[in-house]
Amino acid sequence: MGFATAMWLSCALNVVVSILVRRNTRIGRIECGRSIPMHALFAVLSLGGLSLAVTCGFSEAGAAGAAGNGMAAAGDFMFLLAMMALSAFCLLPFLTFLVGEYFQRGQRFLLSLDQLKVARTYDQAEALERKQDWEGALAAYRKYVASDPEDAEAWRRMAEIHLKLEAVDAAIACLSAVVPKLQELEPKGVVAFRLAEILAERRGDRAGARQVLLTFEKEATGTKLAEYARRRIEGLS
């Protein structure tokens, strides 16, 4: 491919993609001006065209210089610099957009309220508990855990209601079911410790309570929670 042809193709490609992005042209369902993948694709295509043109330009300039045609070599080199400047001008909006977009995303990630852990409220269930509508409260808590199976506090509250109703087995089943689902150590510890208490105090199953604590201690190795579990295990001896 000739130098001039490669340079003009590169220039045309840069101009075309620049227009598509700046005018936010829609291709199917994609808005070019707002799509990060499209910006990245256009930048890569433009850089590829520029690389091709630069390779051809240096090749022709070198050939002209080797042939002793200094004027032609100088002309090729100046044309190359001009096209590189134009390509850089066309690429600048893409690169600026990409850098700016990821910077803003980083800011939103660090400052967003979505990243803050806000304690969940249980207004409906608590209102029913105050009325001593235990079945209604249980139904409300079941809705909470249906939407978030790892809501340790909702599971724990359900177990406490079961205990008020003297349904000890239901309370044990409730906590036993959720412990394996929990990933975070702190809520898992709260549930595991309460389960161990119920097993030991309401069922007299100290061996079962000890097993629950031993399992949690192993998972929490190296943390304060593991030390707390160890003290509880020793208290069962």
DSSP letter for each residue of 29-72: TEETTT-HHHHHHHHHHHHHHHHHHHHHHHHHHHHHHHTT-HHH
27 sits in which H/E element: strand 26-27
Reference 145, options 110, 171, 181; nearest CA is 181
What are the tokens at 194? 């309460």
**Which residues pair with residue 196 across a beta bridge?**
none
Phi and psi of 31, rounded to 5°?
-95, 110
Q: What is the mean pLDDT of residues 219-226?
A: 92
User: Does residue 217 contact residue 233 with C-beta atoms inside 8 Å?
Assistant: yes
All structural domains of the chain with their residue ranges: 3-115, 123-236
Task: Give per-residue pLDDT as tens, 27-86.
Answer: 555 555 555 666 666 666 666 666 666 666 666 656 656 666 666 656 666 766 666 676
Task: Please name the residue that has the structure tokens 């390509």.
Answer: 87
Using DSSP's 3-state secondary structure scheme, residue 26 falls into strand
Reference 55, options 36, 83, 27; nearest CA is 83
User: Residue 213 pLDDT more than 80?
Assistant: yes
User: Residue 99 pLDDT more than 60?
Assistant: yes
Comparing 112-126, 144-158, 159-173, 193-207, the range with the smallest average pLDDT is 112-126
What pLDDT shows up at residue 149? Answer: 87
219's CB contacts (< 8 A; 6+ apart) are: 185, 188
Task: Give per-residue pLDDT as tens, 131-185.
Answer: 999 999 999 999 999 988 888 999 999 999 999 999 999 999 999 999 988 888 9
**Which residues pair with residue 31 across a beta bridge?**
26
Query: 123-236 sits in which CATH class?
Result: mainly alpha
> Distance (Å, rounded) from C-alpha 164 to C-alpha 205?
20
